């Protein structure tokens, strides 16, 4: 994990000075819009397909090189692509990422565990995190995801993936829930089911967003803060009451901070910490369009027009324009993927997490239970002025 520190320093310098000292450390590769789900929170499957070939990915990853640290292979449903393990192998060989993250709907229960095993073999020294999407229990999941029998198939996929755990030390199995107006009232039972029955290595929830990429703008899927806040605070309480060790302690501390940021973004309608999309994180659409993020989904250039040279697409006039707009705070959102990179690159958040984890390591042998804690979430607005008066009740 320490190898990421020099990359963070380069990201911070690039953001502060408005120059590209290094390529992003976090890449989301949307490998196809094809999907066998029909979710109420996503219309991406209706988009036309013009997917990159394996050869195109090979050239692209070669151009990105070792600045990368974190890859997410998303979609659509990424496991529908038979060559997913080849893409992972290409990214691994060219970029050596520390983390590879792949979400799945779990529908192809007879194919996914085998395909993921190939992925694990292709990237033996990366931490590979597979997140199963779960938006409800039983029939409710099927209704939200628009596929009859999805829940039963997802559970079989989960069992198949769990069976891989003993064999691959680089494998973490997670569950991911999108909290929308369709399930916010049932979130507690989803959380209990995941914690008590599935027992994954990690659980992350993300608020349903209206995204250009997903063609969901104006659909009214995002729950209001009045409904979202109480459920997310119970989830945070669960995180704080659980005992974690090692890297999980750090991961959960960031997760807790992330949920604070989401709540405040919804209330204050601004960037709570500076967004470094366009500097530290980037997304590549299935047709090779390069975006700063999937919320704005504005192409800075297409890799096919730039000879598959990521750096060339990343240094266009349009890319500079977008970076200026993001830094000026002209957009805000709670996108999880960008938020985690933002937190890692935000020195006050990093310091606050380090202090919290350090204190817990020192005090945990002596603590009887875990009392509620108050802590500061340092706020920096997008013009750089700092406001440390914002204290959230944990």
Q: Which residue, 170 or 325, is less far from ligand SF4 as judged by CB?
A: 325
3-state secondary structure of 150: helix
Which residues touch 144 (CB under 8 Å, ≥6 apart)?
Answer: 39, 40, 41, 135, 136, 180, 182, 183
Question: With binding defined as CB under 6 A, does residue 8 bind ligand SF4?
Answer: no
Q: Which stretch binds ligand SF4 (CB under 6 A): 74-82, 312-320, 333-341, 369-377?
A: 333-341
Residue 100 to residue 69: CA distance in whole angstroms? 9
Q: What's the min distance (Å) between Cβ of 292 and ligand SF4?
A: 6
Alpha-carbon 375 to chain mean position: 25
Nearest to 41 by CA among 183, 189, 153: 183
Please report which residue ranges of 48-180 form alpha helices under DSSP H. 54-64, 84-95, 112-122, 139-145, 150-162
| Among 74, 251, 271, 356, interactor with ligand SF4 by CB under 6 A | 271
Q: Which residue, 312 or 325, is less far from ligand SF4 as judged by CB?
A: 325
Tokens of 247: 């890297």
Q: Which stretch binds ligand SF4 (CB under 6 A): 108-116, 164-172, 332-340, 362-370?
A: 332-340
Q: What's the min distance (Å) between Cβ of 338 and ligand SF4?
A: 4
Q: What's the min distance (Å) between Cβ of 84 and ligand SF4?
A: 25
Q: Which residue, 31 or 295, is less far from ligand SF4 as judged by CB?
A: 295
Question: With binding defined as CB under 6 A, does residue 293 bind ligand SF4?
Answer: yes
Strand partners, 26: 70, 281
Residue 259 to residue 235: CA distance in whole angstroms? 9
- Measured between alpha carbons, how far apart are the two ends of the chain, in Å? 27
Size of the site for ligand SF4 (CB under 6 A): 13
Q: Which stretch binds ligand SF4 (CB under 6 A): 42-50, 146-154, 292-300, 307-315?
A: 292-300
Q: Which residue, 212 or 219, is less far from ligand SF4 as judged by CB?
A: 212
Question: With binding defined as CB under 6 A, does residue 326 bind ligand SF4?
Answer: yes
Nearest to 15 by CA among 248, 374, 280: 280
Q: What's the min distance (Å) between Cβ of 279 and ligand SF4?
A: 10
Helices 4-17 & 336-344 angle (0-180, nearest 10): 100
Q: Which stretch binds ligand SF4 (CB under 6 A): 112-120, 147-155, 156-164, 288-296?
A: 288-296
Residue 261 to residue 270: CA distance in whole angstroms? 10
Residue 250 to residue 28: CA distance in whole angstroms? 22
Main-chain phi, psi angles of 146, to 5 degrees? 75, 20
Tokens of 280: 């530290």
Residue 109 to residue 102: CA distance in whole angstroms? 16
Helices 347-363 & 336-344 angle (0-180, nearest 10): 80
Q: Which residue, 64 or 326, is less far from ligand SF4 as judged by CB?
A: 326
Q: Which stretch binds ligand SF4 (CB under 6 A): 87-95, 145-153, 179-187, 269-277?
A: 269-277
Q: Which residue, 56 or 298, is less far from ligand SF4 as judged by CB?
A: 298
Q: Which stretch binds ligand SF4 (CB under 6 A): 29-37, 89-97, 149-157, 325-333?
A: 325-333
Strand partners, 374: 393
| Among 331, 350, 357, 394, interactor with ligand SF4 by CB under 6 A | 331
Task: Check residue 46 and report its DSSP letter.
Answer: G
Q: Which residue, 119 or 335, is less far from ligand SF4 as judged by CB?
A: 335
Q: Which residue, 194 or 261, is less far from ligand SF4 as judged by CB?
A: 261
Q: Which stretch binds ligand SF4 (CB under 6 A): 124-132, 169-177, 245-253, 330-338?
A: 330-338
Q: Are 256 and 207 in contact (CB under 8 A)?
A: no
Restricting to residues 335-394, name those near ligand SF4 by CB under 6 A. 335, 338
Q: Which residue, 31 or 262, is less far from ligand SF4 as judged by CB?
A: 262
Q: What's the min distance (Å) between Cβ of 331 and ligand SF4?
A: 3
Residue 216 to residue 43: CA distance in whole angstroms? 7
Question: With binding defined as CB under 6 A, does residue 31 bind ligand SF4?
Answer: no
Binding residues (CB under 6 A) for ligand SF4: these are 271, 275, 277, 292-293, 295-296, 326, 331-333, 335, 338
């Amino acid at each position: 994990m320490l190898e990421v520190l020099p990359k963070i320093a380069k990201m911070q310098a690039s953001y502060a000075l408005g120059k590209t000292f290094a390529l992003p450390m976090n890449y989301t590769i949307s490998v196809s819009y094809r999907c066998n789900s029909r979710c109420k929170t996503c219309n991406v499957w209706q988009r036309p397909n013009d997917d990159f070939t394996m050869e195109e990915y090979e050239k692209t990853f070669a151009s990105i090189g070792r600045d990368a640290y974190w890859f997410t292979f998303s979609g659509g449903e990424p496991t529908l692509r038979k060559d997913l393990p080849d893409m992972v192998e290409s990214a691994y060989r060219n970029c050596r990422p520390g983390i590879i993250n792949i979400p799945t709907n779990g529908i192809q229960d007879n194919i996914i565990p085998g395909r993921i095993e190939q992925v694990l073999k292709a990237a033996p020294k990366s931490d590979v995190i597979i997140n199963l999407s779960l938006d409800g229990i039983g029939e409710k999941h099927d209704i939200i995801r628009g596929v009859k029998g999805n829940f039963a198939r997802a559970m079989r996929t989960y069992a198949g993936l769990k069976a891989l755990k003993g064999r691959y030390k680089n494998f973490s199995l997670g569950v991911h829930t999108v909290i929308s107006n369709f399930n916010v009232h049932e979130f507690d039972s989803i959380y209990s089911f995941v914690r008590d029955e599935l027992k994954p290595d990690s659980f992350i929830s993300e608020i349903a967003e209206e995204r250009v990429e997903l063609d969901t703008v104006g659909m009214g899927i995002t729950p209001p803060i009045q409904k979202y806040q109480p459920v997310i605070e119970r989830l945070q309480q669960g995180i704080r009451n659980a005992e974690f060790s090692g890297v999980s302690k750090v991961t959960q501390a960031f997760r807790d901070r992330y949920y604070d940021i989401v709540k405040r973004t919804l209330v204050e309608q601004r960037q709570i910490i500076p967004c470094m999309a366009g500097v530290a994180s980037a997304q590549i659409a299935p047709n090779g369009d390069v975006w700063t993020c999937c919320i704005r989904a504005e192409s800075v250039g297409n890799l096919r027009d730039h000879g598959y040279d990521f750096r060339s697409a990343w240094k266009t006039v349009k890319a500079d324009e977008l970076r200026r707009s993001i830094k000026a705070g002209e957009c805000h959102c709670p996108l999880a993927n960008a938020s985690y990179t933002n937190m890692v690159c935000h020195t006050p958040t990093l310091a606050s997490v380090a202090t919290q984890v350090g204190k817990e390591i020192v005090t945990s042998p002596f603590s009887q239970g875990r009392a509620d804690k108050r802590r500061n979430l340092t706020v920096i607005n997008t013009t750089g002025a700092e406001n440390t008066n914002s204290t959230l009740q944990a």
